[in-house]
Amino acid sequence: MPELQSHNGYYLWHYVPNLVAAIIFVVLFVLVTVYHIWLIVKTKTWFCIVFAIGGILEIIGYAGRAIARERTGEIGPYVMQSVTILVAPALFAASVYMTLGRIIRSVHGESLSVIRVNWLTRIFVTGDCFSFLVQASGGGLMVKDGNQQMGQNLIVAGLVIQIVLFGIFWLTSVMFHLRLSKYPTEASTGGNSPWKSGLWMLYTVSCFIMVRSIFRLVEYLMGSDGYPLRNEWTLYVFDAVLMFLVMVAYAWRFPSAFQIRKGSNQSTSDVENYDMTQQDTQRHSIRKSKR
């Protein structure tokens, strides 16, 4: 049975990582990531590449935990698993944000979005990238002597940004869903765009990522003496399982149907310049209902 080893007099781990659990999730993430890559290539849904990269980071992370079982005193495996598992969900989130904009365009519902569609993806993805960089920086500082507190503060800040973004994103999605249900567009009633299942997929994925982010926030707020960092099962239940379900749910309603391809009947210019009369009618109806 491996024993905990210290690194320069400091214990990186509070327990010896479970080898079986780590291997199980390496296998699970390999399977679902390979499936996502196959879907991306098959349907040419290139904007989902960042989602697959998130899966690759999860694989690296749990492989790092497997390696660390016999090397708890080495900094390499610890950093390898700590940073990759921490930041991978930010890449899942980026794909989720981009998917909403494509769903809105697919049903010609730009006028029903509370945030202008041209700005929607930019705002959320930019915020997500910032959250990613803040968390990654914090993860790097956590393993340097004398910088643990600063690293922890950065990780907490990055997680707060991620949670706030998801809250705003969820409200934006729900408001669009309600408006489209009340004022349906011709494209949304034609049966060609599975927008409802697409939105429900986003709700499901967002919920999983939100719960995971709240867990990680609590984990870092409680610090190294807190229950989560001292009990490995919490990581697997509130992070590994949830992120695996995120990848499964995203594959279930893979957003290839919401792509806007050049030369198709739903080209970007066609979508952005669709029937202005319909837009005016929708805006008028919404304003009237608010009076």
pLDDT of 147 higher than 60: yes
Radius of gyration of the chain (CA): 21
Q: Within a 10 A sphere around the Cβ of 39, how many other Cβ atoms?
A: 18
pLDDT beyond 80 at 261: no
Dump pLDDT digits (tens) for 232-245: 999 999 999 999 99
Model confidence, pTM: 0.86
**Residues of the chain by 3-state class (helix, strand, coil), percent to 5:** 75, 0, 20
pLDDT digits (tens, 9 = 90+) for 74-96: 999 999 999 999 999 999 999 99
With both helix axes pointing from N to C terminus, report the angle between 19-43 and 241-252 in degrees, rounded to the nearest 10: 20
Cβ burial, residue 20 (10 Å; 0-12/13-18/19+): exposed
Lowest mean pLDDT among 2-6, 29-33, 118-122, 229-233: 2-6
Query: 3, exposed or middle or buried, with CB in 10 Å at 0-12, 13-18, 19+?
Result: exposed
| CATH number listed for the domain at residues 19-258 | 1.20.1070
Q: How far apart are CA 202 and CA 207, in angstroms?
A: 8
